[in-house]
Amino acid sequence: MHLILHNYFRSSTSTRLRAALNLKGLGYDYVPYALKARENEAPAYLAKNPQGLVPSLELEDGSVLTQSLAIMEWLDEQFPEPPLLPQNPLERARVRALAQMIALEIHPLNNLRVLEYLTDEFGADQAGVTRWFGHWVTTTFGPLEQMLASGSLTGTFCHGDTPGYADCCLYAQIWNNRRFNIDMTPYPTITRIFEACDALDAFKNAAPMQQPDAA
């Protein structure tokens, strides 16, 4: 299947989807959009994704999938091996919850358009933006660390010894944290899982600075 990934190197949602595609062993054409230059607001892209957000995954029949979590679940349905989500319903719920703590609690408050709005509409300086970013990370990372550290199903990765859905989200978030110098000392389990992911080519090749538009 010929896939086209519309994305941006530093977008954490793009990073998580790149990792998922790599874990599935799926190749894709890489189409970058410079978000700060508003390239994602060009009419040609809005015709594909009216939200103008990245990533979008374009299929060979012209269909365009949007929203990274929805795309990752579609990948699991269309390409079941290796799985991103476990088969057991309770375990699937656990993995979704871990992923959504990052994707739905942290990311919506800390993505680029929110940070720019803080500056443009409320006059926040860089120090204020950094405090905002750090607040929402620590609000969720504390409970996330506790859940992973105490969870009997946590293994080398968020769920067992095989990387998957939640790990893609965690891995991408840590790269965002590094841009804002978030102290990871209070989160040893999260850090350990990130390092386990980063030892794998599927994740390393998805990292922001490995992308062609990072130069």
Q: What CATH number does residue 39 fall under?
A: 3.40.30.10
Express each pLDDT in 137-161 by its tens digit.
999 999 999 999 999 999 999 999 9
Angle formed at CA 106 by CA 79 and CA 13, multiple of 5 degrees: 35
**Residues 123 and 62 grouped into a single domain:** no
Describe the crossing of helices 188-198 and 126-150 by its angle, rounded to 10 degrees.
90
The percentage of the chain sitting over the pLDDT mark of 70, rounded to a whole number, equals 100
Q: Is the pLDDT of residue 215 over 90?
A: no
What does the pLDDT average to over 40-50? 97
The number of distinct structural domains making up the chain is 2
Cβ-Cβ contacts under 8 Å for 52 (sequence gap 6 or more)? 40, 41, 45, 46
Tokens of 209: 């600075």
Residue 205 is which amino acid? N
Q: How far apart are CA 131 and CA 180, in angstroms?
A: 9
On the question of a cis peptide bond just before residue 208, with omega within 30 degrees of 0, the verdict is: no
Express each pLDDT in 50-73 by its tens digit.
999 999 999 999 999 999 999 999
Half-sphere exposure (Cβ direction) of 23: Cα atoms closer than 13 Å: 26
Alpha helices in 10-67 (DSSP H): 12-24, 43-46
**Residues 102 and 148 grouped into a single domain:** yes
Tokens of 84: 């991103």
**Residues 93 and 78 grouped into a single domain:** no
106 close to 11: Cβ distance less than 8 angstroms? no
Tokens of 13: 């949602």
Express each pLDDT in 3-24 by its tens digit.
999 999 999 999 999 999 999 9
Range of the domain at 20: 4-82+208-214
Q: Give how far the C-alpha of residue 117 lies from the chain's centroid of Cα atoms, to the nearest Å.
A: 21
**Residues 106 and 199 grouped into a single domain:** yes
**Residues 68 and 172 grouped into a single domain:** no
- Determine whether 141 is exposed, middle or buried from the number of CB atoms within 10 Å of its CB (0-12, 13-18, 19+): buried
**Residues 117 and 40 grouped into a single domain:** no
**Residues 96 and 193 grouped into a single domain:** yes
pTM above 0.85, yes or no: yes
Residue 133 is which amino acid? F
DSSP 160: B
**Residues 48 and 114 grouped into a single domain:** no
**Residues 77 and 117 grouped into a single domain:** no
DSSP 39: G
